[in-house]
Amino acid sequence: MTVLVYLVPMALMLGLIGLAAFVWSLKSGQYDDVEGSAIRVLSDDDIEQPDRDEEPVR
Amino acid sequence: MDARMPETLDLSSFVRHGANGTAHMELAVEGVGCAGCIRKIESGLRQLPGVVDARLNFTNRRLAVDWHDQKLAAGEVIEALAHLGYRAQPFALERAEADEARYARQLLICLAVAGFAAMNIMLLSVSVWSGNVTDMTQETRDFFHWLSALIALPAAAYAGQPFFKNAWRAVRVRQLNMDVPISLAVLLALSMSLVETVNHAEHAYFDSAVMLLFFLLCGRYLDHAMRRKTRAFAGNLAALKGETAHRLNASGELVAVPVGALKPDDRILVRPGERVPADGIVMGGTSEIDSSLVTGETAREPIAAGTTIYAGSMNYSGTLTVRVTSAGAGTLIAEVERLLEKAVAVKSRYLRLADRAARLYAPLVHTAAALTAIGWLIAGASVHDAIVTAISVLIITCPCALALAIPAVQVVTSGAMFRANLILNSGDAIERLAEADTIVFDKTGTLTLPEPRVDNAAELDPDMLELAARLALTSHHPLAAAVGREARERLPIEGAIEEPGKGVRAIVDGQEARLGSPDFCAISAALRPSGDEPGTSIIAFSYAGRSILLAVRQKLRSDATAVVRALAARGFEIHILSGDRPAAVAPIATALGITAWRAGLKPADKIAAIEALKAADRSVLMVGDGLNDAPALASANVSLSPISAVDITQTHADAVFLGERLAPVLEAVTIARGGYQLMLQNLWLAAIYNAIAVPIAIAGLVTPLVAAIAMSGSSLIVTLNALRARGKSRTKPVVALEPKVVSI
């Protein structure tokens, strides 16, 4: 069972990385506008089409 | 009168300047409802020259704009938004709101840490539990316990802070709140587990301690998030009112500024038909003002230079120059503030349901734990075993369910109130609303609409009324505004000429139409109303040889009668306490069937009346809007105010209701009573859980596995029960409600 001595701490480290990622995402303001983010993902604002302003977003 | 010079709005108080010539402004935006709005607003603004960035927060409907200072003025941003079809107003983030946002973020990090720790410790604990009944060696178990300790101790030290701080604050002033037993349970569970780990024991309770923190943080975060949401909404409403004042600069130039930017000793101009934006002293000009929003008095009073006037008064006839003052001694504001201070001090003595439960519960649990230890010692157990059993009593009775019982219901209930157009200012208002058995209404602006209306509209010829209303739209006189509201088509008649102090006239289809005083419209004396009714203004309209008389007065809210009747049917005792004259209050009281009414009351008289009711063991709900009502609102057990109320009154009300109807008052007590029932049910559920769990713990049968199952089970039951408040709010109250429209 000696394998546990490094396997379990490794699992914990992976968990900690996840926790750190969450804290980073929170501090960088990614949870400030949760409703907006859900909608923004549908808009094609990364495609350059300057004349498309009048067209409704589907 | 209508020669309004074009002026630019001075927004400098809302613009923050960055390092390299950039400016930043936050705006509250109205009318954002769909996905397309984000793109439309952001790309629309980015096309303006000089705009660096525009970002709309869809959750709280606020827009942040950055631009180069030289290339663009702040006003142009608002104009551009108006052009895109959105009304926006600059917005200054209040400190309280910024602090709350930081606290919410802190809570969320605590929650994440507790969640991470709980999951990983549970992973280790489940291995230990299954290992204990199979073939786990002692070394492996100790290793797992030490790992658990390594996770649990720092995690609890960090994530437990909100509770430890609160508990310490309470203990320092020799009080007990729910956080005291929570902190005690967590700390004892952790230290006992540590001792057990050192002694190579079979059981450790790290998982229970951290799981307890995780559940409680969930409750606390949800509670906080709900309150922040309503606060952000209220902040937007306040900003979108968009009140502006006309300030006279040193050079005599007129500049429009947001009301929030006014400072003492500024000179402002108040035109007819405008509300006075700030308290001050009249420097020049004469006029009549209607201070019904301030004192409840509906009759207009003449004012001249030297008079003190208050924010919220309506200026009727002449243009006034006013010097802005901060509250001076001897003025109404000073008296109101003095009374407020007293009333608020008295009110803070209210003991919340949760704290009452904690006071009952904490000593009981702690005595039970002590008795358990003594009992086991007498029965001959070792000191170690006796203490372990006593601590397991504390852990199993850990007030998980109890601490969630009330916040969970508060979250769901305030959400239900939000949907009913009610914005709660404080969480414990729900229980106080539920306990109320007497309702005290203010008259002006509360039972009646804040603005005067044409009272006899139904009796008049609709075509004549429509023409009168369209003619009224051309004038800025407050009485004309009341008539203008009757217009079905909001088309002002072209070419109207206003004669100050008399009325307006215009030629319509070759015939002259006149709207104004009966003299102006040449109404013969025989047709005029005989007595001069106080609080009512008669406006005449003549066209093509025909004429009508319009009675403009304060009108009851459309559903006031039905709501008051429904409240009386529920067994509420209903009173009216008004600052207006008896002659104006009597007909309203009769129309509503309220016999207990008093008129002509000063702020101190209102407090005295409420104190008398409280002394007679009534729990008083005060509904009011005037500046004179603010102390009474604070001294009542619980209070509501309409959104049209003056600011100081809104801040002292426990909840603010939106819209033109009185129905939210009825909904408030209905929803609150439902919520209160659920809170009591939850407390009982927690008590039953304890009644079952405590004997098991005293008998020494609680293993960490039993503790984990019992704790999460009871928390789940309590939370699920709280969710029933959602369903309940959908059942319709006695008064049928139309689809709700939030009017600002």
B201 at A interface, C-beta within 8 A: no
Angle ∠(B381,B687,B415) on CA atoms, nearest 5: 140
Is residue B732 pLDDT above 50, yes or no?
Answer: no
pLDDT at residue B648, as a whole number: 78
Nearest to B105 among A1, A26, A33 (CB): A26
β-sheet bridge partners, residue B416: none
Partners of residue A9 in chain B, C-beta under 8 Å: 147
pLDDT digits (tens, 9 = 90+) for B618-660: 999 999 888 888 888 888 989 999 988 877 788 788 888 988 8
Decide which of B235 and B566 is more confident.
B566
Let me know: does B577 contact B602? Beta carbons within 8 Å. Answer: no
User: Minimal Cα–Cα distance from A56 to chain B, Å?
Assistant: 7
Asked whether the beta carbons of residue A15 and residue B120 sit closer than 8 angstroms, the reply is yes
Max avg pLDDT among B205-214, B500-509, B702-711: B205-214
Size of interface A-B (CB pairs under 8 A): 63
pLDDT digits (tens, 9 = 90+) for B534-558: 667 788 888 888 888 888 888 888 8
Is residue A56 pLDDT above 80, yes or no?
Answer: no
pLDDT-based confidence at B118, cuts 50/70/90? very high
pLDDT-based confidence at A52, cuts 50/70/90? very low
For residues B678-704, average pLDDT: 87
ipTM for this prediction = 0.80
pLDDT at residue B527, as a whole number: 65
By CB neighbour count within 10 A (0-12 exposed, 13-18 middle, 19+ buried), where does B691 fall?
Answer: exposed
DSSP secondary-structure letter at B446? Answer: I
Of all residues in chain B, what percent carry a pLDDT higher than 90? 18
Task: Give the contacts of B239 (CB within 8 A, at least 6 positions apart).
Answer: B27, B28, B89, B90, B91
Decide which of B607 and B300 is more confident.
B607
Decide which of B235 and B563 is more confident.
B563
For residues A18-32, average pLDDT: 91
Describe the crossing of helices B663-698 and B560-569 by its angle, rounded to 10 degrees.
40
Let me know: does B181 contact B365? Beta carbons within 8 Å. Answer: yes
For residues B514-522, average pLDDT: 83
Amino acid letter, residue B444: T
Is residue B583 pLDDT above 50, yes or no?
Answer: yes
Distance between CA atoms of residues B426 and B574, nearest Å? 24
Output the six-digit token pair for B686. 């927690």
Is residue B462 pLDDT above 50, yes or no?
Answer: yes
State the Cα torsion B304-B306-B312-B313 to the nearest 10°.
-20
Asked whether the beta carbons of residue B57 and residue A1 sit closer than 8 angstroms, the reply is no
Q: pTM here?
A: 0.78
Distance between CA atoms of residues B105 and B114, nearest Å? 14
For residues B449-459, average pLDDT: 81
pLDDT at residue B375, as a whole number: 93
Nearest to B59 among A11, A23, A34 (CB): A34
Of all residues in chain A, the one with the smallest CA distance to B43 is A53
Max avg pLDDT among B127-131, B333-337, B418-422: B127-131
pLDDT at residue B551, as a whole number: 84
Is residue B171 pLDDT above 70, yes or no?
Answer: yes
pLDDT digits (tens, 9 = 90+) for B21-44: 888 888 888 888 777 888 888 888
Q: Would you give the end-to-end CA distance of chain B in angstroms? A: 27
Task: Give the contacts of B692 (CB within 8 A, at least 6 positions apart).
Answer: none
Amino acid letter, residue B566: A
Other CB atoms within a 10 A radius of the CB of residue B249 amount to: 11
By CB neighbour count within 10 A (0-12 exposed, 13-18 middle, 19+ buried), where does A58 fall?
Answer: exposed
Strands B280-284 and B267-270, bridge-based pairing: unpaired
Is residue B20 pLDDT above 70, yes or no?
Answer: yes
User: Minimal Cα–Cα distance from B231 to chain A, Å?
Assistant: 15
Is residue B443 pLDDT above 80, yes or no?
Answer: yes
User: Minimal Cα–Cα distance from B113 to chain A, Å?
Assistant: 7
The CB-based long-range contact list for B514-518 (8 Å cut-off, 24+ gap) reads B514/B540, B514/B541, B514/B542, B514/B543, B515/B468, B515/B471, B515/B472, B515/B475, B515/B480, B515/B483, B515/B539, B515/B540, B515/B541, B516/B540, B518/B549
Angle ∠(B262,B263,B269) on CA atoms, nearest 5: 55
Is residue B729 pLDDT above 70, yes or no?
Answer: no
Distance between CA atoms of residues B5 and B669, nearest Å? 49
For residues B431-438, average pLDDT: 91
Distance between CA atoms of residues B523 and B541, nearest Å? 9
Q: What mean pLDDT is reported for chain B?
A: 83
B120 at A interface, C-beta within 8 A: yes
State the Cα torsion B313-B318-B321-B327 to the nearest 10°.
-20
* DSSP-H helix ranges across B441-559: 462-472, 478-484
β-sheet bridge partners, residue B422: B657
